[in-house]
Amino acid sequence: MKPGFLGMATASGTGAAGMIERRRFGRSGHPSTATIFGAAALKNVTQARADRALELLLEFGVNHIDTAPRYGDAELRIGPWMREYRERFFLATKTGQRTYTDARDEIRRSLERLQVDSVDLLQLHSLGHPDEWEVAMGPQGALAAAVEARTEGLTRFIGVTGHGWTIASMHYKSLQRFDFDSILLPWNPVMHANARYREDFEVVCKICEERDVAVQTIKSIARGPWATTHPDRNTWYQPLEDPRDIERAVHWVLASPRLFLNTLGDLDLLPVVLEAASRPVAAPDNDAVRSLVESRRMTSLFGIAN
């Protein structure tokens, strides 16, 4: 990787042992933990189990939560936390709706579920399909509802998220249409190995660096699609499970000092991820990354790239 946005850091700069490094979340100025809690892990758990996850987040100093209406009961599980801890967290949610009216209604429903008057970041969820993009970014689209929500004080910042091989180029297109405050997209050694995606990723990250836009990464701990049923895991993909593998994957992302890593959707592995993120970060060398990909047979979650 080239120096700059994706330039490799040699150490994390953490202050206290066991606490996760904080990084400036783009133009928001918020000192977010480099590892953001991905609340998809709460989609089908009890409140008691969710509350145990909160204790873990507080233990490691995680101060940024990313959720969405599509994450089952996640917003409902986070709501009770906000009564006591709202000031401790940068709170982000999303709307997966594409039209203005539907998005407006979903945004207000999310605030009710989260038991808050406003969120810090509102994101257009999984905006990758060209037809949906045209609707959402149009004059009567979801973006208009998000801008209205910002004007009304229901959010401070607006972002866009997505998945798949084309999402880096789609985010570039989105940034040409609107001045988003953050983006979110997949990034792991398998994605990096694809020359076209790597180039698209680096191009959009360069734009984000120039505009001070925060970049969140997902699927960084994904091993590949499930080959069979998966009763022991809560993710739609097969994650890495060995703590050494997880640490390599986590550090591979966090060694780029402007990237954020969103945790995976499995509470059982959350302590392992946070432990890895709390250790001083040094980028694994190329041989170590190649060994991880080959030994764990890491593959694409999104089929064969075009």
Q: Is the pLDDT reported for residue 2 higher than 50? A: no
Counting Cβ atoms within 10 Å, is residue 84 exposed (0-12), middle (13-18) or buried (19+)? exposed
Percent of the chain with pLDDT over 90: 81
User: Would you say 95 and 142 are in contact if contact means Cβ atoms under 8 Å apart?
Assistant: yes
Would you state the pLDDT for residue 51?
98
Instruction: Using the CB atoms, write b or e for 273-296: b if 16+ within 10 Å.
Output: bbbbbbbebebbeeeebeebbeeb
Distances (CA, A) of 8 to 18, 35, 257: 22, 17, 7
> Residue ranges of the domains in the chain?
22-295
- Residue 17: what pLDDT? 40
Please report the pLDDT score of residue 287 as a whole number: 87
Question: For residue 306, what pLDDT is reported?
Answer: 67
The pLDDT value recorded for residue 5 is 45
Q: Using an 8 Å Cβ cutoff, are 51 and 201 in contact? A: no
Give the count of beta carbons closer than 10 Å to the beta carbon of residue 305.
15
pLDDT in tens, 42-53: 999 999 999 999
Give the C-alpha separation, 214 to 197, whole Å: 19
**pLDDT above 80: residue 18:** no
Bridge partners of 37?
A: 65
pLDDT at 285 over 90: no
Retrieve residue 81's tokens: 């936390």
**Percent of the chain predicted with pLDDT > 70:** 93
pLDDT of residue 231: 63
pLDDT for the residue 283: 83
Q: What is the pLDDT of residues 228-255, one digit of tens each?
A: 766 667 788 889 999 999 999 999 999 9
Has this prediction a pTM greater than 0.75?
A: yes
Tokens read off for 282: 């040094």
> How high is the mean pLDDT of the chain?
92
Across 9-23, 199-213, 274-288, least confident range: 9-23
From the list 112, 122, 45, the residue with the least C-alpha distance to 90 is 122
Does position 177 have pLDDT exceeding 70, yes or no? yes
Q: Is the pLDDT of residue 19 over 80?
A: yes
HEC string of the chain equals: CCCCCCCCCCCCCCCCCCCCCEEECHHHCCEEECEEEEHHHHCCCCHHHHHHHHHHHHHHCCCEEECCCCCCCHHHHHHHHHHHHHHHCEEEEEECCCEHHHHHHHHHHHHHHHCCCCEEEEEECCCCCHHHHHHHCCCCEHHHHHHHHHHCCCEEEEEEECCCCCHHHHHHHHHHHCCCCEEEEECCHHHHHCHHHHHHHHHHHHHHHHHCCEEEEECCCEEEECCCCCCCCCCCEEECCCHHHHHHHHHHHHCCCCEEEECCCCCCCHHHHHHHHHCCCCCCCHHHHHHHHHHCCCCCCCCCCC
Kindly indicate whether the domain formed by 22-295 is annotated with CATH number 3.20.20.100. Answer: yes
Pairing type for strands 214-218 and 119-124 reads unpaired
Residue 9 scores a pLDDT above 50: no
pLDDT in tens, 141-164: 999 999 999 999 999 999 999 999
What digits encode the pLDDT tens for the residues 179-226? Answer: 999 999 999 999 999 999 999 999 999 999 999 999 999 999 999 898
Q: How far is CA 28 from the centre of its chain?
A: 16
